[in-house]
Chain A
Amino acid sequence: MPNRVAIVGIGQTYHTTRRPDVNQPEMVAEAVRAALADAQLSIKDIEAVFSANMETFEGIFLPDHGMAAEIGAFNKPGFKVNTGGTTGGSAVVEGFYMVSSGLYDVAMVVGFEKQDCGDTTAAISAAATPMWGKGAATGAIGEFAKQALSYMETSGATEEHAAMVRLKADRNACRNPYAHLKLGLKSVDEVLQSPYLVWPLRILDFCPQSCGACVLILASENKAKKITKKPVWIADVEVVHQEPFRAGVFGDPTGKETYTQHVACERLYKRNGITNPRRDIDTAEIYEPSNWEEMNLYEHFHFCEKGEGWKLIEKGITEIEGEFPVNCSGGVLATNPIGATPIIRVAEAALQIRGDAGEHQATRDIKTALASALGGPNWTILTLLKRSL
């Protein structure tokens, strides 16, 4: 039986398009200090530091080498992880493994991205094998565009539904002091007027490129109870990867493709006795790079039947006041500092459980929350959080 692990400290920077006032390490340090203050710990209490960053997005290889001091990792164990979009999720899992194994009692997980320094889509395109040549340069956006088309063709969802997802994200983001895009959108029409980026995705259908960092402090059971009165327990994690860069298809209704979301949540639900996710889980912070993907993920995670994701949005079930709130923080659609993004999902889910989310606290009481990470060609990491084990 592995040791129990709790989140005892949460910190993030505000997220925005440009941060010329700080370099990358200095920006990360802001989140580290916030997490230490939240846990009321000093950097000396941290035994190991695990960092997450999409290397080369800022043009720098081994960014962790230049910031040991700023992330509080000087003379400490730990290393950086990079698994594509799931990077931050991998770092949370890594921290969880390290503490649950008993190797460390207090570990810190640090995720960051400073996207005003490079070109993200170009960097993602550079990850594709060169054999596909000129024209593969749409990064992740092209994949989600095709997925959106398939979803539209097969589920009955319309562009209006996608616009409603953005409106929900924007309303929530406006209540979140750290969120990036806060547009104050009022109507579906405002979203539908935004220009196309990669057809049929509009600019407002897709997540922004943010600068920001997010930090979690994890502790073993004994330590956690000493550090905080409100530990949030990591009940379980699941990681599923699949073969990259095959002719894999996002949003394939033929059933030919294996979805890592299905594999991951079926395993996680089974281990934790979750038979009806919308009843057994109180909220979810999911990794939705596009409006369409949010509706798709509702279905993949069995929050509803297949082809009915858009109905949850239409009925307001996933609103902050709703029966099953999803992404009370505004989600990835509002804030996307890539290496930090999945850590923010876990952090925001934990804030909901603590009841410390402030203005974007869900109306219903949150005891159990699910956080997801998505990346690469359809990779999934899930983290299940609980107020008590």
Chain B
Amino acid sequence: MSTVTEKLEGMDVWIYHGQIYIPNRYSAGAVGSRFLIEIRDKKRIMGTRCPTCNRVYVPARSICKDCFGQLDELVEVSDKGTVLTYTVCNQPNPVQPVETPLVYGIVQLDGADTGFVHMLGEVDPEQLRIGMRVQAVFKEEREASILAIKYFKPLA
């Protein structure tokens, strides 16, 4: 993209239409990598369990926020869960992974103690409700990415 400078009508003020574009990569780390690889290779969703606080974090993380303990114990959680809350987004934006209308949800998977942010699909926005039971739908072609889960769909 090139940049353009434009003079404001009737004023000695100029506007520079620019961009900042830098290639970045985020290291998932050892635990984060395991989490993404399990989704890609085995369609399994993993969490980590804090033995001190007896809590399972999903997505898997390596440090407990309450006790600062190092979490080494990876546990598989269910691909089914309960919608804690949701929102319907109608305003398109380049950062969105799919086209609008797009439904974001926070899902507590069975066996997890935390909410997991993802998209909800195969659902009429009118029929959404808190407490709804949902299940993960995985993409056929999967990369090691959170978007290898296509969305969560309502359980029949």
Q: Which residues of A contact B (CB under 8 A)?
A: 19-26, 29, 43, 56, 58-60, 68-70, 72, 74, 114, 116-119, 122-123, 126, 130-131, 133
Contact = CB atoms under 8 A, between A and B. Distances in A.
A21 B27 CA distance: 8
Nearest to A130: B18
B22 A116 contact: no
A119 B65 contact: no
Contact of A23 (B18, B24, B27, B68): B27
Given A19-B27, A43-B68, A25 B63 contact: yes
Given A68-B65, A130-B3, A58 B16 contact: no
Nearest to B65: A69
A69 B64 contact: yes
Nearest to A133: B3
Interface string B12-26: 000010101011111
B95 interface: no
B68 A72 contact: yes
Given A26-B63, A29-B63, A69 B26 contact: no
Contacts of B18: 130
A109 B28 CA distance: 24
Given A19-B27, A21-B30, A72-B68, A26 B62 contact: yes
B87 to A, nearest CB: 20
B30 A131 contact: no
B154 interface: no
A203 B80 CA distance: 54
B29 interface: yes
A114 B25 CA distance: 11
B32 interface: yes
A126 B68 CA distance: 36
Interface in B5-56: 16, 18, 20, 22-33
A133 B20 CA distance: 12
Interface of B: 3, 16, 18, 20, 22-33, 61-66, 68
Contacts of B26: 23-24, 58-60, 117
A130 B65 CA distance: 40
23 contacts: A20-B27, A20-B29, A21-B30, A22-B27, A22-B30, A23-B29, A23-B32, A24-B26, A26-B29, A26-B30, A29-B63, A56-B22, A69-B61, A69-B63, A70-B63, A118-B22, A118-B23, A118-B24, A118-B25, A119-B23, A122-B22, A123-B22, A130-B3
A268 B106 CA distance: 54
The 6 A-B pairs of least Cβ separation, nearest first, read: A59-B24, A69-B65, A23-B29, A43-B68, A22-B29, A122-B22
A23 B16 CA distance: 36
Contact of B68 (A22, A60, A69, A118): A69
A118 B28 CA distance: 14
Nearest to A25: B63
Question: In this complex, which of B18, B23, B28, B63 has the most chain A Cβ atoms within 10 angstroms of its Cβ?
Answer: B63
Contacts of A72: 68
Contacts of B61: 69
A51 to B, nearest CB: 15
A280 to B, nearest CB: 41
A116 B68 CA distance: 26
Contact of A117 (B3, B27, B66, B68): B27
Contacts of A118: 22-25
Contacts of B28: 23
A20 B63 CA distance: 17
Contact of A58 (B24, B32, B33, B64): B24
Contacts of B65: 68-69, 74
A169 B127 CA distance: 66
Nearest to A67: B63
A78 B64 CA distance: 19
Question: In this complex, which of B20, B22, B29 has the most chain A Cβ atoms within 10 angstroms of its Cβ?
Answer: B22
Nearest to B32: A23
Nearest to A43: B68
A130 B16 contact: yes
A109 B30 CA distance: 26
Nearest to A24: B27
Given A69-B64, A130-B18, 8 more contacts: A20-B29, A23-B27, A59-B26, A114-B27, A116-B27, A117-B27, A118-B23, A118-B25
A68 B22 CA distance: 26
Contacts of A29: 62-63
A242 to B, nearest CB: 25
B64 to A, nearest CB: 7
Contacts of B3: 130, 133
